Structure 1
Amino acid sequence: MDHLPDFKFGEQVVSVFDDMVGRSVPFYGEMQRMIAEIAGDYAVPGTTVYDLGCSTGTTFLCIDPNVAPDVKFVGIDNSPEMLERCRLKLDRHGMKRDVELRHGDLNQGVEIGNASLVLLVLTLQFVRPLYRDKLVASILDGMNENGALILVEKVIGEDSLFNRQFIKYYYDMKRRNGYSELEISQKREALENVLIPYKLMENREMLLRAGFRHCDTFFKWYNFTGMIAVK
């Protein structure tokens, strides 16, 4: 069999992205609801919420009702196709607040300011490990005191025995959601050199090393986790 090209967030992926994450990310809707709940406590009026890797804007739409109207949204993504879809989606849903969408590669760092909340929802795992500490440090530097970072990631199990089992359970979930064996294997191969997960504790240590004062896990399902860290 020919080697599949690496996974890329181009038009082909963008066109099916919302359906894809809904079927391939466990409890995706519940995680979005939890993020919106947390956003209500941390998005301070007059500040900015950043979604790094904003994709089609689903998280912005989820948190919008919970956040004061004078909070600005800034979405950054390295896929022009994603940003175009995001703008269309936000407009279609009638979002009224100030929203800025930027094209940017997080491997090159990010400039943020006046941030009370920063979102990294299934994004950091696509940043090359060499650049992750620097990115997290730059996020912390641009955040206001008591600002929060929400990090949702696919993770490696802390123990190799459980890691194998968690991956098996995850693929079982994808089969239940209609993915074929071929689709599962092709997606795994396409992501192999693109999505590089850390262990949960490695992510926690990275956040604390950067200087966040508080860190905890708000969601865990086998090899997926949601974490919150506060400056």
Structure 2
Amino acid sequence: MTKKALHIVLETERRDTVFGQDEPPVGDFSFNAKVADVFDDMVSRSVPHYEEMQRMVCELALDFASPNTRLYDIGCSTATTLLALDPVLDPSVKFIGVDNAPDMLEKARQKIAQTGTQRPIELQTADLHKGLYMENASVVTMLLTLQFIRPLYRERMMRMIYSGLNEQGCVVLIEKLTSEDTTFNRLFIQHYYDFKRRNGYSEIEISKKREALENVLIPYRLEENIQLLRETGFKHVEVFFRWYNFCGIIAVK
């Protein structure tokens, strides 16, 4: 996948002003219609090296996807990853996108229709805290999703993924991290906010979004994510991307 290909998927999105100065106060962050309408701009301006991470996910998926199996994108949001994977993987691989936000899935349907892809892409609404049935999967992607699942339910979710994966299948995670070392944690967060400022977010927007996410996005330490994968049963676990408090992890069954 080229950067141009990802840009085509994103170019119709509106600019994110959800947490702007003139916007009304918000409670806990929610993937509602207002967020869905600007989500692609939001994530591209809020996640460092977002396009490169998508490209790497496509490369890794190609390494492990087998013909006549399934690829699940858990927390598929507006289908950016599924559409990036579409031209890369064998046509016999069935794509299934799962999300708990109907507004995000509606945006995903619109984007899929606009691309004119010939691959059937199934979209499912599911409460990830209640679990998910999967089968015949060679690849599972969870990009910036596990961090939104309450810690009490993360082990169960990972075991369901492991159960649904075929031997030599993989799960690809992108996660925001926290650090046990308070000095590094403070510095990494500071550099992350600098990144958001460079992308046009104001101090008010950064502050309001931080407050909205406080009880919703609960990051693990890198060691905790790796331990979760290993205790689930994954034989091989490796970090493939790292930028301050963001990382990509791949685990193979």
Would the TM-score normalized by the shorter structure come out above 0.5? yes
Deviation for aligned residue 1:91:
1.3
- 1:35 aligned to 2:86? no
What residue in structure 2 maps to residue 49 of structure 1?
71
What residue in structure 1 maps to residue 41 of structure 2?
19
- 1:179 aligned to 2:201? yes
Give the whole-Å Cα distance in 2 for the aligned partners of 1:31 and 1:147: 20
Give the whole-Å Cα distance in 2 for the aligned partners of 1:218 and 1:178: 28
- Among residues 199, 211, 220, which one is paired with 1:198 in the alignment? 220
Task: Map 1:1-231 onto structure 2 (within 5 A).
Answer: 4-231=26-253
Aligned to 1:65, the other structure's residue is in SS state coil
Give the whole-Å Cα distance in 1 for the aligned partners of 2:184 and 2:77: 31
Aligned to 1:116, the other structure's residue is in SS state strand
1:222 partner letter: Y
Q: Please give the root-mean-square deviation of Cα atoms over the aligned residues, in Å.
A: 1.0
What residue in structure 1 maps to residue 6 of structure 2?
none
Give the whole-Å Cα distance in 2 for the aligned partners of 1:11 and 1:209: 37
Divergent runs of 4+, >6 A: none
5+ residue gaps in structure 1? none
Retained in 2: the 8 A contact 1:158–1:200? no
1:64-90 Cα offsets, whole Å, 9 max, x none, are 121000100001101111111101101
Retained in 2: the 8 A contact 1:72–1:98? yes
Identity of aligned residues (%): 57
Change (3 A) 1:11 1:123: same
Give the whole-Å Cα distance in 2 for the aligned partners of 1:17 and 1:158: 30
Give the whole-Å Cα distance in 1 for the aligned partners of 2:221 and 2:159: 19
Aligned to 1:5, the other structure's residue is in SS state coil
Retained in 2: the 8 A contact 1:4–1:189? no
2:158 partner letter: V
Give the whole-Å Cα distance in 1 for the aligned partners of 2:91 and 2:26: 45
Count how many residue pairs are aligned between Structure 1 and Structure 2: 230
Deviation for aligned residue 1:3:
7.0
Give the whole-Å Cα distance in 2 for the aligned partners of 1:126 and 1:161: 25
Deviation for aligned residue 1:61:
1.1
Q: TM-score, normalised by structure 2?
A: 0.89
2:148 partner letter: F
1:94 partner letter: G
1:157-202 Cα offsets, whole Å, 9 max, x none, are 2421101100000000000000000000000000000000000110
